Each structure stands twice: as structure tokens, then as C-alpha cells.
Structure 1
């Protein structure tokens, strides 16, 4: 067997090939372009790489053009966590020296000695990979939108707190279309106070408001003309200009999040697993796309439900040494899947009596809110692993069976 390790960088990569004994067979320094990729393929072919028996590759990254092209060849690709690779490096050099060539050799030797302890990149379909790109980009856009909204809100508190009080009745706050349209028309307290009801009605209609326009215009006029502390006139005008700059960033983030959400849902609904996943209580097309983006459609990726739960961080870890035993929350996990899982569990309680009863039992047993929700998410993940694998739809009676009379008697 021949093993390949690639130390990835933005412009160049170091490649090392080792045999079963760990002996270095070849090394190359290639560029991150088509020419470098051809050199890599020629090097692998020189040492026996074939379509039937491809040489496995270890690399410290799971994305990018080089990884995509290598995956297209059908060879096993192992994305090694850089932290794990750093621990292996100490096995080869106690002097703690480091070089790109040495790192490539370390990666190749990881496959030689411990390939079974690491996981290949999943063989997801092209559609599944596209859904993952869109769903993750949409999540990033939501984070950018939240950051932009927080910056704008913090800035408004310094000179225009009355605006935040006027739009604070809506859950979206400054992200709401009415708030953004209104702020673009009147970015300072003086301009906002001079808005007439006719102008406010026009702005509300521009933002998409259709019902109770007159009542809302009257409420906004009263709120914007309320007494509040003010900055000096020139300072206030300058801060208004800064507000318009921050507002443009927020508008762009809101537009990106909405467009990517539509694209992610459209692609997700084309996948055969979409109907099964959205059949779970609390999962919409968007949240279902986020869940699917992290688990993919490679059925061999997770050997059992426990592996999926560990990947999502819903199961704890046990640290035992002698008489000391500690059960702790799992910190190393897929943060995106864990994040959507919290939202999923919260929404499931409103759409499933069984989920709500399960959460209540955990709370009565002494769990805090977050722990009880994580336990519910853990339960739902077991169902999620089973349903797409066996091509069955979610069943409330199977997921949360009613307690039997025997269980009632034992509890009594």
C-alpha cells in the first residue's frame, strides 16, 4: 500500500508518498492550479495509482478545488483535523521542529497507522453538496445580518433611542422592512420628528404594510415626536450619515439571507429525502435543509445513531480516571448542526405532544432548559438516522410511545 499526505496552503502544497513501512518514496512541491494538479496525478500514477486501486489521500482541509478534483477521481479522501495532525507530529520529532514537508509526511503516516480511526469524506451526491453550500451560506448570511443589526442598534442608542423604542414592538427590530425604510427616509431625530402622517403612510406602504396603515402611522408619529435626549446638531447630522452607511450593510445582509434561503429551500425540495426530513415536527424546508446539509445523503457516513448523535454533540462524554468519573457536555462537535438542533427541539415542542412530554419529563428529573432541549434533540436524531436509512416517514407513536400500564405500576 502507498499512502499520500498533502500539506495544504493557499498557493502551494507539499506532497509526500510513503509505503507500508513508513519509508518516504517521493515528495513534491506543487502549485494550487491545474498544472500542479496534473503533477500530483502523474506522481500518484507513477507509484501505482489506478482507477480500481486508488491511492488514499490525507489532507488538512475538506473543501476547495483541490479536494473537489481529488474527490471526483473516486479515491478515499481523509480530512485530518489540524489539531490531531499536530499531536501526530510529536511522534516523529521530539525537537518540535516543523516544516511543510514534514507535515505532509505526518499526514501520510496517519493513514498508514491509524486510517481506521479517521473518517473518509462522505460520498454525498452532487445535489446534496449543492444544498450544503446554499444552506451554510444562508446561515452565514443570517449571522452577518445579526451582526449588522447589532452594530446599527448600538449606534442608534448613542443618538436616536426614540427610533429603537418606536420599532421595538416588532420581533425583527431594525431588520424589519418598515424599520429600514423609515430609517432610510429619516436617519436623525429631527428629520423623523418632521415626518407627516401622509409621509408615514407612504413609507409604510412602500415597506409592504397593507392593514391598519393609518393607525400605525399615527403610532409612529407619536413615538418619533416623543421627548428624548439629543446630540449637538452637527454631531447628530454626522451620526445620521453613519447610520445610512450601516443601513446599507444591513440591507445587503437581509437581501442575501432571503435570497439564499429561497435558493436553499428550492434545491432541498428536489432531493428525495426532503419529504421525510420535513415530516419531522419542528422542521421546515429551511431548517430541514440546514440539518440535511450537515448529515448528507451518504448512508455509510454514520454507522449507527450514536455516531450521528456524537457528531451533533447531543450526547455527553465521560472522563474517567481511577475513582474519578465526570460526565460532561460535548464541546467538539458540528456547531452548525448543534445550532439548528436547538431551534429544532424548541419548535418540536409546539408541534408534537410527545416531544413536549419528553421535555417536561426531563425538566421534572432536574435538567435545566438547555439540557432538556439537548436531550430532546438527541432523541429526535435517533429517529432522523432511522427514517431516511429505511425510507420510512416519522411516526409520533413510534418516536414517543405511550407508557404502558406496567410502567405506570412500576412508577407508582
Structure 2
């Protein structure tokens, strides 16, 4: 058996190869890419024999993605993903002073897979399609967050020099007609000259209803009296607004493009029917949840393991006579965001989820905590459906809770 610690960086990898007794056989710094992975294969082959089983090599690394990790998995090595927090705690065994180096981290990783591989998570064997769905879903979600940040910046600029625009568009500042009209008239002087015909055309292009009424409301808002800044300063603000509107428009177009690609990939996956049968889940949320959970059937030992990975299950801190139950704050933020959105939508689409939420509120829990409980329960239901290859059934999912409440 060989145990390898791989402390990766953007341009190189610090490697330590260790035997079963904990003796360091080799320390090296390898370049990133084909050259580096070839050198690593050679170093391992020299010490274990080229005809040996690759599963005799255990590798610890602090990432689970990228071509380097894919090459390690393809070679047949057993690759374990180590959370950087775990490495930090484990390193304290060797360096109480707090000293740190890349070579020291490689040593800690090698020793960790030697002594604690049974406690670590091996890189999941997800399909290529699931990996593609995860990448597209993450890009789609990040792009939506970027749009929200850009809209917030646009709102801040308008509040500083053109509050009439905020009054005219209200909470629909990111709507298609608002971006169209702000692109044509990014300052108060130009906006006051916008004709009713142009405003109507923008609303019609955005496929809005009650066009005449909305057009008059927008025109009245844009022509309302407001305090003015000096012309030079106002012009600078107008240029900034035009730039932000162009960025938001492009971002919206790319969000639509990514959603189309994501939808196509999701509908190719064999688990799509199971995910779409869950309450509160559509194509986008289903893609996010599937991508983050993966589709490796052996990745989660049971529903509790899936809940722990999702971050919906609580953690218990018990010492002596004191015991507290806290929320799990170290978690996958993209996954928990999707699960909480599912839980919120499920309150309207699932009577069982709504009744379960109401019982949590009756216990005195606030909204977010009660919603957290619903999300945790939905993760368990999803695990059961995936394990049995069955679609969601309302009676099966919530029947025992209903019976217990009635009793």
C-alpha cells in the first residue's frame, strides 16, 4: 500500500509518498498538467510496481474537480477528498506552533489517508452527464446572482440622481421594458421626452398586459418633479446607467441561453422523472439538486448521510449534562439554496409538507427553522425515491406523519 498526499496549487502540486508504517518515501514538487501527472504515475510505479493493483494507492487531495483529479480517478487510484478545515486540524498534530508549508500539508494529507481513510469521503463516481448538469446549474445560478448584484448597483445609482425612474418602474427595475426604456433614456432630461408611443412599444415587446394603463403610469413617473444634479455630474451618472443596463441585458440573455442548455441536459438524465415528481421541484431546481447530489448510487450510505451532506440535518453538541442542537452552518451553499427554495414551493403544492410545516410552527419555531425541517424531510423522501427508483407519492411520503398527528 502507498499513501500519497497531494497539496495542489494553480501551477504545481506538492507530493509526499508514504508507506504503511508512516515513513516518507519521497517528497517532490510536480508541475500541473500532462507532464506532472506523468511524473506522478512514474514515481508511484517505481515504488509499488507497474503491475500492481492501482487501488493499493490512496491519495488525499483538497479538491474533487478538475482534470488532475479526473486523471487520478481514471488511473484507478482511490482518491479521497479532504476538507481544508480537516487538514488544518490534522496539521496541528505535527505543528502545535502553527507553522505551515505546502510540503507540510502534503505530509498531513498522506498521513490522513493512511490512518483515517475510513473516515474520509472518496471521490464520487458520478456520470459525465451529472457532472455536466452540475457545471451548467452552477453557472446558471452564479449568473442569476450576478444579475441581482448588477440590478442592485443600478438601483443605487438611480436613487442618487434619478429617483423618478424608481418611482416609475418600482420593483420591476430588472424587467425587459424597464431596461429597454432606461437604455433609451438614462437620465431625467431624456426620460421626460419619451413619448407614450415608445413606452407602449417597449411594453408590447415585453408582452405585458394592460399596456395603455401601464404606459401612462410609467410616463407620469418619469416626468414627476425631482431634485437635479449639475449637468456634468448627471451626464456621468447617465453613462454609468447605460453601461449597467447593457451589462444586465447581456447577462439576462446568457441566463436564458444557459437555461436552455441546462434543460436539454437534464431531460437526458435517467433520474429526471424522479426529481420532477418531487413537490416544489421543476427543471431548474431539479438540475441544481441533481448536480450537487450527483448520481452515484453508492455515494450515500442512507438518508441520514444525504441529509448531512445537504446540510439540512442538525448537529448535536453534548458534553456532560449539557446538550444543544444547532443548525449545520458548514454546508454546500448552492445545494442548500436550492433545497430551501424547494421547501418553500412545496408548502403550496404538498398538503403533507404544509401540515408538517404548521406543526413545526405550532411548536414555537420561527419560519426559517420550520422551513429547514421541511427541507430536511424532503431530502429523506428524495433519497427513498432514488433508492427504490420510484416516483413521489404524497400518501407514502407523509402518511405516517398524518397518522401520528391524528393520534
Does the pair score TM above 0.5? yes
CA pair 51-132 structure 1, distance change in 2 beyond 3 A: farther
Answer yes or no: is the 8 Å Cα contact 1:14–1:28 preserved in 2: yes
In structure 2, the partner of 1:362 is 360
User: Residue 50 of structure 1: CA displacement?
Assistant: 5.3
CA pair 135-404 structure 1, distance change in 2 beyond 3 A: closer
Distance 1:196 1:216 in 2: 13
Answer yes or no: is the 8 Å Cα contact 1:187–1:243 preserved in 2: yes
In structure 1, the partner of 2:127 is 125
Answer yes or no: is the 8 Å Cα contact 2:59–2:110 preserved in 1: yes
User: Residue 354 of structure 1: CA displacement?
Assistant: 1.2
Distance 2:296 2:38 in 1: 29
Q: Secondary structure at the match of 2:123?
A: coil
Distance 2:158 2:225 in 1: 16
Distance 1:245 1:151 in 2: 11
Answer yes or no: is the 8 Å Cα contact 1:175–1:254 preserved in 2: no
User: Residue 194 of structure 1: CA displacement?
Assistant: 0.7
The Cα offsets for residues 199-225 of structure 1, whole Å up to 9 and x where unpaired, read as 2223333x4326433332222111111
Answer yes or no: is the 8 Å Cα contact 1:341–1:377 preserved in 2: yes
User: What's the C-alpha RMSD, in Å, of the aligned pairs?
Assistant: 1.7
Distance 1:319 1:402 in 2: 29
In structure 2, the partner of 1:180 is 179
Distance 2:212 2:295 in 1: 51
In structure 1, the partner of 2:61 is 59
Answer yes or no: is the 8 Å Cα contact 2:352–2:402 preserved in 1: no
User: Residue 60 of structure 1: CA displacement?
Assistant: 1.4
Q: Secondary structure at the match of 2:147?
A: helix
The Cα offsets for residues 278-311 of structure 1, whole Å up to 9 and x where unpaired, read as 1111100000000111111001111010111111
User: Residue 51 of structure 1: CA displacement?
Assistant: 7.2
CA pair 98-403 structure 1, distance change in 2 beyond 3 A: closer
Distance 1:263 1:375 in 2: 33
Distance 1:99 1:359 in 2: 49
Q: Secondary structure at the match of 2:173?
A: helix
TM-score (norm 1): 0.94
Answer yes or no: is the 8 Å Cα contact 1:14–1:100 preserved in 2: yes
Distance 2:106 2:210 in 1: 66
In structure 2, the partner of 1:345 is 343
Q: Secondary structure at the match of 1:102?
A: helix
Distance 1:102 1:282 in 2: 47
TM-score (norm 2): 0.95
In structure 2, the partner of 1:215 is 213
The Cα offsets for residues 170-209 of structure 1, whole Å up to 9 and x where unpaired, read as 5xx222111111110000011111111122223333x432
In structure 1, the partner of 2:27 is 27
In structure 1, the partner of 2:195 is 196
CA pair 24-186 structure 1, distance change in 2 beyond 3 A: same
5+ residue gaps, structure 1, are none
5+ residue gaps, structure 2, are none
Q: Indicate which of 280, 283, 292 corresponds to 2:281.
A: 283
Answer yes or no: is the 8 Å Cα contact 2:54–2:75 preserved in 1: no
CA pair 91-236 structure 1, distance change in 2 beyond 3 A: same
